[in-house]
Amino acid sequence: MDQWVVISSMIVAYLGLTLWVGLRAGRGTSSTVDGFVAGDRNFGFLVMYFVTGATAFSAFAFLGGPGWAYSRGAAAFYILSYGVLGMVPWYVIGPKVARIGRRLGQVTQAQFLTGRFRSRGLSLAIALISIAALIPYITLQMRGAGIVIEAVTDGRVPLWMGAATAYGIVLVYVLVSGVSAVGWTNTLQGVFMIVIAWSLGLYLPYALYGGIGPMFDAIISQRPELLELPGLTAGGEPWTWAGYSSAILISVVGLTMWPHLFMKAFTARDERTIRRTVVWFPTFHLFLVPVFLIGFAGVLFVDSLAQPDFILPHLILNVELPVIVVGLFCAGALSASMSTGDALMHATASVAVEDGVRPFAELDEAQQRLLIRIFIVVAGAAAYFFAVSEGISLVVLLLTSYGIIAQLAPPVVAALFWRRATTPGVIAGLLAGGATTLLFFFWPALKPITLHEGLFGLIAHVPVLILVSLLTPAQDRARVEAYVNPPAAGRSASPRR
């Protein structure tokens, strides 16, 4: 039997298993908006651990990670540096957000913020920011899935068909089971990703160099500049320390502000679950170590690849690996892509309806759920259109959206910890931060130093938030206390809906 037939059969089996798990997941969840968007707030530790980990590590990590290590060397270590630091604030913020959300019946980030800073314009602005940041992210996941399938089937299944198949399945299980499908499929996919990354990451250096130490010795003797911090830029020039350090800082601030991660606070069964998820997150983050080892294994074996993102499929197909390993690798890469993609599609649609439409139109439960499902299809279709169109620089878009998403951090912190913060202050801060970020993104020559544009955004954002808040009247006490000092769980009022 041809190799591609075996591999394709493994992919089909894997996709079938995912679909089965996704469809079963919806059983036992209520057919309410709370059930569809927040899983009836009933995710336990195991599911939360994998949802957080697998959602954070996307196709970008599985395909892009080795690509970065291969082409930019030590620059990739910035990703190792920010993960735990980015998740730690969640130990304090996550349980508080969950407690407030449970009490006030919130399921999205904008609902959380506008619960304290009441403004329909703010709600719409957050919805638009989120959607603008999420769509390119979904597109990257789809392309990742398409690339893998095209590569391992020798082009017999082209990118458009591979992406359509994998994401057709995602669409079915997300439409049927909502966030519960995201939770349970991510558990399956998370296990796949971790096992496969570690096996390949340890196997490849041994197979090609006789060990990890010998591999790095060989790279040091031939390409010493590659392993020295802060590594290289995409063009092969040395990266700047300001660029390296500010990439870490902006990612630390932005990581948990991504809507698809933030919203998962509302799915947790209790506050303890969220804390435990943060405590165990570092074990998931270490998954990047084998991912980078795979990339480094390619350095002396593959001559300058035009598209470094293909390093993993390229290595896998050219190193004479047993066919079962290749099949498993595909399952791992698809897992990484689909586990992030499903959460993203679900979050985009939920945000669009809950924050973009509902503040302006009366909708009952059934209409909301129908509209969310329609928006899931629309978001998927939009992302698919970009995924199969050539020539759109998505990575650039994605890196910029990190700067914009990080602008949601000051309002979240202000809502939870600063009694004197006001709605005009938060809106003015967001405008100042967003405008500054975009200014330096479009005209990088204006930057005084080569920091990430999102950091300049924060530097403008925070003082404006503070100043305008202090110049406007304080909020009423009850609303402030509901956020700064929320009553402990157990005394919860009945949900809003």
Residues of the shown chain interacting with other proteins in the complex, contacts defined by CB under 8 A: 74, 77, 80-85, 88, 91, 211-213, 216-217, 219-220, 224, 227-230, 241-242, 244-245, 248-249, 252, 272, 275-276, 278-279, 282-283, 285-286, 289, 292
Question: Is residue 404 within 8 Å of 131, Cβ to Cβ?
Answer: no
Question: Is residue 342 within 8 Å of 23, Cβ to Cβ?
Answer: no
> Which CB sits closer to other proteins, 227 or 467?
227
Distance, in Å, from the CA atom of 360 to the CA atom of 363, rounded to the nearest integer, reads: 9
> Which CB sits closer to other proteins, 192 or 281?
281
> Which CB sits closer to other proteins, 35 or 403?
403
> Which CB sits closer to other proteins, 242 or 394?
242
Residues 6+ apart with CB under 8 A from 175: 373, 376, 377
Residue 108 C-beta: closest distance to other proteins, Å = 27
Distance, in Å, from the CA atom of 71 to the CA atom of 296, rounded to the nearest integer, reads: 9
> Which CB sits closer to other proteins, 23 or 227?
227
Residue 116 C-beta: closest distance to other proteins, Å = 25
Residue 478 CB neighbour total at 10 angstroms:
7
Torsion over CA: 39, 43, 47, 48 (sign): positive
Residue 109 C-beta: closest distance to other proteins, Å = 24
DSSP percent split of the chain into helix, strand, coil, nearest 5: 80, 0, 20
Residue 250 C-beta: closest distance to other proteins, Å = 11
> Which CB sits closer to other proteins, 278 or 331?
278
Residue 497 C-beta: closest distance to other proteins, Å = 32
Residue 41 C-beta: closest distance to other proteins, Å = 21
> Which CB sits closer to other proteins, 28 or 213?
213
Reduced to 3 states (helix: H, G, I; strand: E, B; else coil), residue 43 is: strand
Residue 78 C-beta: closest distance to other proteins, Å = 8
> Which CB sits closer to other proteins, 229 or 446?
229
Please state at what angle helix 89-104 crosses helix 409-417, rounded to 10 degrees. 70
> Which CB sits closer to other proteins, 56 or 182?
56
Residue 488 C-beta: closest distance to other proteins, Å = 12
Question: Is residue 455 within 8 Å of 249, Cβ to Cβ?
Answer: yes
Residue 113 CA, chain-centre distance (Å), reads: 20
Secondary structure element (H or E) that encloses residue 80, with its range = helix 77-87
Locate 357 and state its tokens.
């439409």
Helices (H) and strands (E) in the chain, counts: 24, 0
Q: Residue 362 burial by CB count (10 A; 0-12/13-18/19+): exposed, middle or buried? A: exposed
Residue 270 C-beta: closest distance to other proteins, Å = 12
> Which CB sits closer to other proteins, 248 or 464?
248
> Which CB sits closer to other proteins, 77 or 375?
77
Residue 226 C-beta: closest distance to other proteins, Å = 8
Residue 184 C-beta: closest distance to other proteins, Å = 26
How many residues belong to the chain? 497
What residues does 232 pair with on adjacent strands? 238
Residue 251 C-beta: closest distance to other proteins, Å = 11
Residue type, 15: L
Residue 409 C-beta: closest distance to other proteins, Å = 15
DSSP string, 59-76: HIIIIIHHHHHHHHGGGG
Please state at what angle helix 323-351 crosses helix 45-56, rounded to 10 degrees. 100
Residues 6+ apart with CB under 8 A from 269: 41, 42, 43, 44
Q: How many CA atoms lie within 13 A of 72 on its CB side?
A: 21
Distance, in Å, from the CA atom of 96 to the CA atom of 416, rounded to the nearest integer, reads: 8
> Which CB sits closer to other proteins, 23 or 286?
286
Residues 6+ apart with CB under 8 A from 372: 33, 36, 37, 349, 350, 352, 353, 354
Residue 15 CA, chain-centre distance (Å), reads: 21
> Which CB sits closer to other proteins, 206 or 443?
206
Locate 156 and state its tokens.
């017999």
Distance, in Å, from the CA atom of 295 to the CA atom of 312, rounded to the nearest integer, reads: 7
